[in-house]
Amino acid sequence: MKYTVDDNGYYGRFGGAFIPEMLYPNVEELRENYLQIMSDPSFQKEFNDLLENYVGRPTPLYKAARLSEKYGAAIYLKREDLNHTGAHKINNTIGQILLAKRLGKQSIIAETGAGQHGVATATVCALMGMECKVFMGKLDTERQKPNVERMKILGAEVIPVTSGSMTLKDATNEAMRYWIGNPKDTHYIIGSVVGPHPYPDMVARFQAVISQEMKKQLKAQTGSENPDKIIACVGGGSNAMGAFYEYLDDLDVELIAVEAAGEGVNSGRSAATTALGQPGILHGSSTLLMQDDDGQVIEPHSISAGLDYPGIGPQHAHLFDSERALFLNATDEEAMIAGIELSKLEGIIPAIESAHALAALSKLEFKKEDVVVVNLSGRGDKDLETYIKWGKY
Amino acid sequence: MNRLNHLFNTKKENILNVYFTAGFPELNSTVQIIELLSRHGADIIEIGIPFSDPVADGPTIQASNKRALDNGMSLNLLFDQLKDIRKITQIPLVLMGYLNPVVRMGVEKFCEKCKEVGIDGLILPDLPVKEYRDHYQETFKKFGLSNVFFITPQTSEERIRAMDEATDTFLYMVSSPGITGAKSYIAESQIDYFTRIQAMQLKNPALIGFGISDNNTFMQASKFSSGAIIGSAFINALAQDEKLENSIPLFLNSILKKS
């Protein structure tokens, strides 16, 4: 079984590049060049140098003693929350902006939901002196004011999107529309393992640094590169794909993806795509998609804006389809409880996205000798208001 | 013979294709709009299937999609509305829509329904030519449906030739880089592109769309192709005066300069 992309841009029955002809030259330019650019030693050097000296990599792999004791297994946290800008998102934006420069692009666009990818994009644009436009649903600009201001301080233009439901999927639509109208000098930095081929593969490769480091760190700390289980949350799925990537063919490692169940899988307010979705086509790829019987996309709900997406990366859809990964979900409440628990037990306030991965610990059975890695994709600073509103701490 | 082929065989210039969104302005406007358009001078009617995420469309058509969905429009209902349309008109009918609702219904079932009601062609902007040839062409052909491809100022000659091979009715020439929306002029750079495509002597006729909004842009576009496609400007006209029996003849007369 092959879990990475095939020559046609597919993962099993998912993937592809379902884009209007107007976008074909842009996407084709990327497809023709991304592998060659990424494997160029001078690109690698520049990328790794920035990850080390600017982002702060490698991020620690920390054995969480009190959490381990509570769940009866050796639980390690991959500390992506300690990256510059507070989450794993910057691994991808650093990679893509270097790539955009080599393609001769002068300006950058991005979509953002909660604002984390927008901030990570605005950051690298400031770093490289490139013009930056971030599309953000108007509702999200109101819900995530501090990140809007953060992007503006970094010199980006934030464009509130008033079409459709005014959230992440509409911000993505609007970024694509802008790209259609400005095809030559603009690169679109997609923030997750979604979109038309080659985006899911390119973003996965940039995020793969997470599992590359995990292998070395586990070897040093436990004597074996492979853990028994890796747990990560999935919205579009970029942090999970980064944590899974180097282990896809190591079938002794159980991969566990945790989706946001919102107020409950069957509550009508959920973002658990594999539980609720049907095969469909959105934002350029064939994948699992939350939609009604008429094929209209359903607006998802999660307490965590970063998981609030009606689709899932096509590679994840394939991992689900092929049963290579186990897909669980956690409700808003379960995630909040798990977030507070980590704060009290380990002194780490996690992003609410990452708290969904932690919530899976109480749904799994462990043997005492199990080595479990939870990918702690982001820190909770941005979520303080949600924690305060939740109040039960 | 396909009604589209018949049209292109008998009319060589100034072909007017008008787009509207099914379910806009009212849920049940579909049949009346088709009837009025065909009676007052349109040559082809492009019926838009509304979608929640119309990524190639500008604000006007986004808004008509949203209103149509809010009105309760669906693909099943559209086929219901169209079931007797061939008793009313023999004008060529093309369905335009994004791929997801089609895939959700099932491509085979969708094509079967198209054939049942008398659809001649399909415009699916997010269905690329390679995907079409590999997975869709056979089914479309089985039900007598012609697929229409977009060409843009950035489309390479090689791809244009491939699309010209893959279709048998017409090519949709996108007038400039961008999404749908009414504009009031055609620029010099667009004319260079129109002339370049004209010089390729393709086997299929081309219709120019995006930014065509009035008699001036329609006549200019028609100089370089077999005719043009109007969408946003028509939706705007419907939105301004929802009395269709007034707004539709008035709009068509303004495009075709009939008094």
Q: Is the model's pLDDT at B21 over the cut of 90?
A: yes
* Host domain of residue B127: 3-254
Residue B108, in any domain of the structure:
yes
Q: For residue A251, what pLDDT is reported?
A: 97
Q: Judge whether residue A347 has pLDDT over 90.
A: yes
> Which residues on chain B place their C-beta less than 8 Å from a C-beta of chain A?
51-56, 58-59, 62, 66, 69, 74-76, 98-105, 125-128, 131, 149-152, 154-156, 159, 174, 177-179
Question: Is the CB of residue A375 less than 8 Å from the CB of residue A80?
Answer: yes
User: Is-catalytic flag, B46?
Assistant: yes
Residue B259 included in any domain: no
Active-site residue, selected from the candidate residues B46, B84, B116, B157? B46
Is the pLDDT assigned to residue B259 strictly greater than 70?
no
pLDDT at B182: 82
Reported as a single tens digit per residue, the pLDDT across A352-391 is 999 999 999 999 999 999 999 999 999 999 999 999 999 9
Q: Which residues contact A145 (CB under 8 A, 6 or more apart)?
A: none
Name which of B49, B84, B87 is nearest B68 in CA terms: B49
- Statement: residue A264 has pLDDT above 90: yes
- Give the per-residue pLDDT at B1: 63
Contact A174, A138 (CB under 8 A): no
State percent of chain A over pLDDT 70: 100
The pLDDT assigned to A89 comes to 98
Whether the pLDDT of residue A1 is over 80: the answer is no
User: Residue A87 — very low, low, confident or very high, per pLDDT cuts 50/70/90?
Assistant: very high
Q: What band does A167 get if pLDDT is binned at 50, 70 and 90?
A: confident
What is the per-residue pLDDT for B185?
A: 87
Quote the pLDDT of residue A144.
86
Residue among A177, A181, A281 minimizing CB distance to B100? A281
- How many angstroms separate the CA atoms of A173 and B54, rounded? 8
Task: Name chain B contacts of A280, Cβ cutoff 8 Å.
Answer: 100, 103-104
Whole-angstrom distance, CA of residue B45 vs CA of residue B16: 9
Question: How confident is the model at residue A165, as a pLDDT?
Answer: 82
Write the single-letter amino acid at A61: L
**Confidence class for position A33, pLDDT limits 50, 70, 90:** very high
% pLDDT > 70, chain B: 99
- Model ipTM value: 0.95
What is the spatial distance between Cα A166 and Cα A154, in angstroms, rounded to a whole number? 23
Contact between B142 and B114 (Cβ < 8 Å)? no
Does residue B59 fall inside a structural domain?
yes
Q: Which is higher by pLDDT, B39 or A183? A: B39
Tell me, what's the pLDDT at A393? 94
CB within 8 Å of B76: residues ≥ 6 apart: A294, B105
Distance from CA of B215 to the nearest CA of A (A): 25
Number of domains in chain B: 1
Tokens 């709900």 — which residue? A301
Other beta carbons within 10 Å of A29: 16
Give the pLDDT score at A62.
98
Confidence (pLDDT) at A42: 98
CATH of the domain at B106: 3.20.20.70
pLDDT band at A163 (very low <50, low <70, confident <90, very high): confident
Of A316, A331, A240, A239, nearest in space to A277 by CA: A316
- Look at residues A213, A191, A349 and name the one whose alpha carbon lies nearest to residue A283: A191
Does residue B249 sit within a domain?
yes
- Does the structure show a pLDDT above 90 at B10? yes
Comparing A23-32, A141-150, A170-179, A202-211, the range with the smallest average pLDDT is: A141-150
